Structure 1
Amino acid sequence: KKILSGLGFKQEDFNKPAREYSGGWVMRAHLARLLVMEPDLLMLDEPTNHLDLLSLLWLQRYLLNYSGAILMISHDRDFMDSIIETVVEIDPDAAQLISYTGNYSAFLEQREARYDQQVQAYRNQNKEIEHIQEFIDRFRQVGSKAAQVQSRIKTLEKMTRIEKPRTPRKPFKFNFPQPPRSNQKVIELDKVGQAYGDKLIYKDLDLTIERNDRIVLVGPNGAGKSTLLKILAGVIPINAGKREPGYATKIGYYSQHRSEALNENNTVLEEVLAACSTLREEEARSILGSFLFRRTDVEKRCGVLSGGEKSRLNLVKFLVDPPNLLLMDEPTTHLDILSIDSLVQALKGYEGTLVFISHDVHFIRTLAETTLHVTRNDKNPEKGALVTRYTGGYDYFIEKSGLNDDRSAVTA
């Protein structure tokens, strides 16, 4: 029961049949079952994917005290930095595994140092080869030097050549175009009510978002975070109250579950170039590459893309032609770590207003300046979800909300 509670299940959920849960909650139940078994080797493939922030924090604390060995794949930098002691990199070019001692941040430093050493060794060998070849070319026709020339020729023949090191993939840096300036008041919700059938989500919700705000929505899954983002985006109607975008507010809404209309006949490259008339093809290819579209992928027709590929393509389109109010629901879901870093770099330079949902602590910590904590109002469900504003980022929110306490994180 403690494990189920930590992963976000309520007491009344414990005896529900699995068929009544969504796929994400079923995955949590599978994870809980695995943790209860306490295997000697716990193997986890992206364990944070279906967790909200609070459940992720609980799992992070749980695994820190786990007595067995853990082998996992993850794209959550902060999660890995907190737990892991060894990183194994898969090098597809050399078809080998390279082990590094330490957490993910230590791995980045060690990999860079290793690359620098390889580059230096490669350069030193090339200098040695040039020096030997110069001697051979200079004295090849000199009889008195014949033995030395032959010796150096054999040295070159026996020498194991060092291949030029491949530069480690790094986040892509690009000066994205800036959005048009909005009014100070970007959007306002006044006494907004929202329900799905008989289930009340919000009642009398007031919220004002101003220019250059950087807001993260956090809270348990099902509390109403995504619904609030949809209300702000105007993609669902409200049952009561008013939603008032400011003058000159241009809204962009990104969700992993919703793909904007793509021209199915366009290639991926054509779709991005059409989104921004000033973008050069070389830049478009580089940006797409940083978001996991390989050289052959950019020539694919949009109509044959998978759901994840469509989500990533829409994300790129937002970045090359940004709105001045960007609403993002779990934008890191279909990305690897370096793609997330590329997105972070882009959003750090973004001069518009940003409201997002994420369970990636590194992403939140880097970008959020205000935190809205959305929670279910279990004591007074007739009043709708509670939205508490913290004028600070992730660490401020954790400190002020008391969620740095294990028990609080379990019962939140």
Structure 2
Amino acid sequence: MISFNNVSKHYGGQVLYDNASFILRPGDKVGLVGPNGAGKTTVFRILMKEEGFEGGSITVPDKVRVAYFSQNIGEMKGRTVIEEVMSGSAKASELASEMRKIEKMLETDLDPDEMEKVLIQLGDYQTEFEKLGGYDLDTRAKEIITGLGVMPYDHDRDVGLFSGGWRMRIALAKVLIQQPDVMLMDEPTNYLDLESIVWLEQWLKDYKGAVLMTSHDRDFMNGIVNRIIEVANKTITTYTGDYDYYEKEKEIRKVQQIAQYESQQAMLQKEEEFIAKFAARASHAAQVQSRVKKIDKIERVELPPEDVVMDFTFPVPPRGSNDVVTMKNLAKTWTRDDGTPHKVFSGLTATVNRLDKIAVVGVNGAGKSTLLKVICGLTEASGGESALGPSIQAGYFSQFSLDLLNPENTVLEEISSRLPHSSNGYIRNLLAAFLFRGDDVEKKIKVLSGGEKSRVVLATLMSSNNNLLILDEPTNHLDLKSRDVLLKALKDFEGTVMYVSHDRHFLHGLSNRVFEVDKGGIRVFETGYQYYLDKKKSES
């Protein structure tokens, strides 16, 4: 259906890929993976003809409808949520207008030939309109945007009143409602909560068209894709299977490639030793020349480059109290814009124990982030109490921590200002562990990506001797490999962790207890995330 044929893409002197090829077939569900900067988003932009390329060809049949969800959603205001979502199916709206014109023409006196011509045109329009799902467009718009977390009471609000994260959901709904033959999706799970991610995963499973997507959510990708296309090392490689299979297969291929390299190097060494030994002997001249020609023609096996990932472990923190956090009848009420109170939660009674790794879960708006802020002392409780135990020092990572960085500081200046008693050498080694090396430490905060800013905040947390880490969406903006490194570091951390995450792989891998904030209260599950899911399933 779509062919990417021997495509070469360069930026100045930088080669993204040379002679790269893949095919996207009808109904394929494909994950596009690779390190940051390798050119994944550029693949989308090339397919959408937003960028050119230096060699090769792209084949997209004229009748194949392609829709693209990107992180650049543009301006949105002046329409209600439902109107904005429905505008995604522009072709259906255009056909509806044309059909209305023809219906008005049919109310006038037309000669038989013109009548037949108009009716044929109307039939063609109706067929295409039905194919686009035009007859139930309003119903589907409401179903999709509700599935993505925008509740019916907000459907008639102006989209301009929503935050950037919520507008991202609306932009995603505009792509889904088109029901194209192919969907290109660049990080569709960004800004989605867990419930919306699960809904989108099922929607894409049921979707009959093809999908090519990037995602930093391992479970989401595993649940959908049947192939992986890797953009890395100036080429594109295809793997059949989900993300877990890709990781295993890539390691197998790497081991095989190393074995081939070592075998070839041993053979070359023998040939070169023979040439060096007999080069000066006339009696061996023919053999020497033959072997010189032989090794010149050999296609050299190259060692696979090592993946560059974060490499850090949290230092052993000072020991604190066994009762790390004590909550008794904790309550929080916000005051709405109109002055009316809104109860977030009440009656929260629980104890966080030393070395706990607690997942704080609950539906969107239940109060998970608010609970973490109350525990940190960043917002006051409306009732009850929350207290840290003796000698407990808390470090806090929030979804908005990135906004607290000084945009005019360099990376080195930012970390130095947060760790004033640390030596320059220590800070540089710390930054190297978080992939800021050489001139990277002189980058200004304002030019960093979201993932890079997250690494700056995590580097500070790692070095602050905290024995309690309170983390609100710490994996946002981190790629899959960085998430795995953070997961391992937190599992090995000899302190206590409370965290909110929408990454199911992270939730499964870290939690030994679950606090569910729901219906204004809290439920404590004394085992991990899988037990929590099983318990909820049995109750429902």
TM-score (norm 1): 0.86
Which of 179, 185, 191 is residue 329 of structure 2 equivalent to? 191
1:165 has 2:304 as partner: yes
- CA distance in 2: counterparts of 1:43 and 1:18, whole angstroms: 24
Whether the 8 Å contact between 1:115 and 1:167 is mirrored in structure 2 is no
Which of 51, 67, 88 is residue 208 of structure 2 equivalent to? 67
Please give the per-residue CA displacement for 1:350-398, whole angstroms capped at 9, x wherever unaligned: 11111000000001100012222223x4xxxxxxx23222222222122
Whether the 8 Å contact between 1:52 and 1:219 is mirrored in structure 2 is no
Whether the 8 Å contact between 1:183 and 1:247 is mirrored in structure 2 is yes
Residue 276 to residue 344, structure 1, CA distance change in 2 (3 Å): farther
What residue number does 2:292 align with? 153
SS in 2 for 1:5: helix
The higher radius of gyration belongs to 2
Listed as ranges, the matches of 1:211-250 within 5 Å are 211-250=354-393
TM-score (norm 2): 0.67
1:328 has 2:467 as partner: no
- CA distance in 1: counterparts of 2:310 and 2:222, whole angstroms: 18
What residue number does 2:430 align with? 284
- CA distance in 2: counterparts of 1:170 and 1:114, whole angstroms: 20
SS in 1 for 2:441: helix
- CA distance in 2: counterparts of 1:303 and 1:334, whole angstroms: 15
What residue number does 1:346 align with? 489
**Structure 1 unmatched ranges of 5 or more:** 378-384
SS in 2 for 1:37: coil
Displacement after TM superposition at 1:273 (Å): 7.2
Please give the per-residue CA displacement for 1:57-102, whole angstroms capped at 9, x wherever unaligned: 12212222221111100011111111111111112x3x21111111
Displacement after TM superposition at 1:171 (Å): 6.2
Residue 271 to residue 138, structure 1, CA distance change in 2 (3 Å): farther
Task: State the one-letter code of the partner of 1:14.
Answer: H
Whether the 8 Å contact between 1:275 and 1:317 is mirrored in structure 2 is no
- CA distance in 1: counterparts of 2:444 and 2:476, whole angstroms: 22
Displacement after TM superposition at 1:272 (Å): 8.2
What residue number does 1:389 align with? 524
- CA distance in 1: counterparts of 2:425 and 2:381, whole angstroms: 38
Whether the 8 Å contact between 2:405 and 2:445 is mirrored in structure 1 is no
Task: State the one-letter code of the partner of 1:86.
Answer: R
Whether the 8 Å contact between 2:332 and 2:383 is mirrored in structure 1 is yes
- CA distance in 2: counterparts of 1:304 and 1:36, whole angstroms: 34
- CA distance in 2: counterparts of 1:272 and 1:101, whole angstroms: 46
Listed as ranges, the matches of 1:267-306 within 5 Å are 267=413, 270=416, 280=426, 283-289=429-435, 293-300=436-443
- CA distance in 2: counterparts of 1:54 and 1:275, whole angstroms: 43
Listed as ranges, the matches of 1:393-404 within 5 Å are 393-402=528-537
Residue 167 to residue 270, structure 1, CA distance change in 2 (3 Å): same
Residue 303 to residue 166, structure 1, CA distance change in 2 (3 Å): closer
What residue number does 2:237 align with? 98
What residue number does 2:510 align with? 367
Please give the per-residue CA displacement for 1:22-66, whole angstroms capped at 9, x wherever unaligned: 222222222223222221112211111111112211221222222
Residue 275 to residue 258, structure 1, CA distance change in 2 (3 Å): farther
Task: State the one-letter code of the partner of 1:395.
Answer: Q
1:129 has 2:268 as partner: yes
Whether the 8 Å contact between 2:347 and 2:521 is mirrored in structure 1 is no
What residue number does 1:381 align with? none
What residue number does 2:4 align with? none
Whether the 8 Å contact between 1:319 and 1:346 is mirrored in structure 2 is no
Residue 272 to residue 279, structure 1, CA distance change in 2 (3 Å): farther
Residue 223 to residue 325, structure 1, CA distance change in 2 (3 Å): same
- CA distance in 2: counterparts of 1:324 and 1:279, whole angstroms: 24
- CA distance in 1: counterparts of 2:485 and 2:434, whole angstroms: 11
- CA distance in 2: counterparts of 1:283 and 1:5, whole angstroms: 47
What residue number does 2:153 align with? 12
Whether the 8 Å contact between 1:7 and 1:55 is mirrored in structure 2 is yes
Residue 261 to residue 17, structure 1, CA distance change in 2 (3 Å): closer
Please give the per-residue CA displacement for 1:298-319, whole angstroms capped at 9, x wherever unaligned: 2335687566534321212212
> How many percent identity over aligned positions?
38
Please give the per-residue CA displacement for 1:105-130, whole angstroms capped at 9, x wherever unaligned: 11111111111122122222211211
Whether the 8 Å contact between 1:129 and 1:156 is mirrored in structure 2 is yes
SS in 1 for 2:470: strand
Task: State the one-letter code of the partner of 1:394.
Answer: Y
1:46 has 2:187 as partner: yes
What residue number does 1:31 align with? 172
Whether the 8 Å contact between 1:54 and 1:219 is mirrored in structure 2 is no
SS in 1 for 2:386: strand
- CA distance in 2: counterparts of 1:351 and 1:279, whole angstroms: 25
Whether the 8 Å contact between 1:256 and 1:308 is mirrored in structure 2 is no
Displacement after TM superposition at 1:167 (Å): 2.4
- CA distance in 2: counterparts of 1:388 and 1:2, whole angstroms: 30
Displacement after TM superposition at 1:213 (Å): 1.7
Task: State the one-letter code of the partner of 1:393.
Answer: G
Residue 189 to residue 203, structure 1, CA distance change in 2 (3 Å): same
User: Which structure ranks higher in relative contact order (CA pairs < 8 Å, sequence separation ≥ 6)?
Assistant: 1
Whether the 8 Å contact between 1:44 and 1:72 is mirrored in structure 2 is yes
Equivalenced residue count is 391
Residue 320 to residue 279, structure 1, CA distance change in 2 (3 Å): farther
Task: State the one-letter code of the partner of 1:402.
Answer: K
Whether the 8 Å contact between 1:193 and 1:202 is mirrored in structure 2 is yes
SS in 1 for 2:315: coil
- CA distance in 1: counterparts of 2:425 and 2:507, whole angstroms: 29
Task: State the one-letter code of the partner of 1:225.
Answer: K
What residue number does 2:109 align with? none
What residue number does 1:112 align with? 251
Task: State the one-letter code of the partner of 1:287.
Answer: A
- CA distance in 1: counterparts of 2:377 and 2:474, whole angstroms: 19
